[in-house]
Structure 1
Amino acid sequence: MSASATIAGAAVEAPVSPLARIYGEPLVQMPHDLYIPPDAMAVMLDAFEGPLDLLLYLIHRANVNVLDIPMAPLTEQYLVYVEVMRSQNLELAADYLVMAAMLIEIKSRMLLPRPKAAVGDDAEDPRAELVRRLIEYEQMKLAAQALNQLPQAERDFDWVEVWVEKTLLRRLPEVTVLDLQNAWRGILRQAKLHTRHLVQREELSVREHMTLILRRLRDAGGFVEFVDLFDPTLGAPVLVVHFLALLELAREHLLEMTQREAFAPIYLRLANAHGDSR
Structure 2
Amino acid sequence: MNREIFDKSVRVNGVEIVDIPEDLFIPPDALRVILEQFEGPLDLLLYLIKKQNIDITDIQILPITNQYIEYINMMRQMQFDLASDYLVMAATLAEIKSRMLIPSDVDDDEEEDPRAELIKRLMEYQKYKDLSGKIDSVPRINRDNFVAKSIFNRITTDQVLPELEFSQLENAFLDVLRRAEINASHNVDVEILSVRERMTIVLELIAKSDSVVFTDCFKMNEGKMGIVVTFLAILELVKENIIDIMQNDAFSVIYLRAK
**Structure 2 length as normaliser, TM-score?**
0.46
Larger Rg: 1
**Structure 1 length as normaliser, TM-score?**
0.43
Greater relative CO, 1 or 2 (CA 8 Å, sep 6+): 2
